Amino acid sequence: MRTGSTEPLKITDFTSQQKWRRTTLYNEFFHPLRCEYQMGFAFPVPKGQIALGFNCAARDYSEDDRQLFTLLRPHLTQAYVNALALTRITTAMTGMNRAYVVASGDGTIEHASVSAIRLLQKHFDLPAEPSRLPPQLSHWLLKPAGQGQKTGPFEIERDAVRLVVTLARREPDGVCTLLLEEKSDASLKSRLVSAGLTLREAEVLLWVKRGKADSEIAAILGSKTKTVSKHLEHIYEKLGVENRTTAANVASELIAPP
């Protein structure tokens, strides 16, 4: 039966229960299955519609039931759209062998690649099968971006290796897709150490060059803000500069390819 409507409808919206029970369809299909009363609705999808039918043996569906189904429709539509998006992302990321995590707005991990789980365990000491993002990542996702700006990447460093987390997609319901990637600054740090800095000072200077504040550098390196500030004082003295902007410029010159 085609009506063009997506609203919840009953058989008795089109004919009486008595006439319905005299039809071949009812007697050969619905009645043997004890499906005496029906209600159904459809919701739109990118390539058509998906229709759902409900059957009851004991009583007819009421107007309250119809209202509940009406309220349910948009949620089913959004769930289907989310499932399609997740399928596309999963297929794409698997094909590219990318480390990715799909997480809800409250930090619950809904799906993650094996490589992403390994990176989370390595950099955050998470259990073998984590169910939630680490608190640092959840806090970063909740941090609002500036007007007209995208959320910048989250970065943390461990054993001279950086983990860079990028927000690839945020759904209207808060579900986020994160891309994870490790990057090594070993060669850059080596050049700065050759210029007279300690390894820790080289790490601090690289983050200064990337525009990070002292408090952000402290969080990334697992240090204290006062300690970072003290490292900067030593850096200024060794490089013969007076501020972080000039220090960043000198760093750019020191790590530039020959």
Query: Is the pLDDT reported for residue 127 higher than 90?
Result: no
What CA–CA distance (Å, rounded) separates 156 from 125? 13
The pLDDT value given to residue 148: 45
**What pLDDT is stored for residue 93 in this prediction?**
63
At residue 2, the pLDDT reads: 56
Assign 200 a pLDDT band (cuts: 50, 70, 90). very high
Mean pLDDT of the chain: 86
Q: Residue range 194-218: average pLDDT?
A: 93
Predicted local confidence at residue 207, as pLDDT: 92
The sheet with strand 9-10 has its strands ordered as 9-10, 37-45, 48-56
The answer to whether the CB of 60 falls within 8 A of the CB of 35 is no
| pLDDT score, position 28 | 92
The sign one gets for the Cα dihedral 114, 119, 122, 127 is negative
What is residue 166's predicted lDDT score, i.e. its pLDDT?
92
Q: What is the structure's pLDDT at 45?
A: 75
Specify which residues 212 forms β-bridges with.
none
What pLDDT band is residue 42 in, cutting at 50, 70 and 90?
confident
Residue with tokens 């998470």: 126
pTM to 2 decimal places: 0.53
Q: Which contiguous run of DSSP H or E holds residue 102?
A: strand 99-103
> What counts of helices (H) and strands (E) characterise the chain?
10, 8
Structure tokens at 42: 């459809």
**Residue 132 dihedral angles phi and psi, to the nearest 5°:** -135, 155
Please give the angle made by the CA atoms of 66, 4 and 18, to the nearest 5 degrees: 55
Nearest-angstrom CA–CA distance, 241 and 236:
5
pLDDT per residue as tens digits for the range 88-122: 776 666 656 678 898 988 899 988 888 999 999 99
| pLDDT score for 6 | 67
Segment 19-41, tens digit of pLDDT: 999 999 989 999 898 999 999 98
Instruction: Give CA–CA dist 230/201, Å, rounded.
Output: 10
Where do the domains of the chain lie, and which CATH numbers do they carry?
9-73 (no CATH), 97-184 (3.30.450), 185-258 (1.10.10.10)
Residue 49: count of CB within 10 angstroms of its CB: 11
Lowest mean pLDDT among 61-65, 76-80, 244-248: 76-80
Nearest to 166 by CA among 142, 185, 191, 141: 141
**Which pLDDT does position 27 carry in this prediction?**
92
pLDDT at position 150 over 70? no
| Residues 132/112, Cβ–Cβ less than 8 Å | no
Smallest CA-to-CA distance from 188 within 219, 155, 161, 218 is with: 161
- Residue 145: the pLDDT is 56
pLDDT at residue 147 in the model: 42
Per-residue pLDDT tens digits for 155-196: 888 877 889 999 988 888 788 889 999 988 888 889 999 999
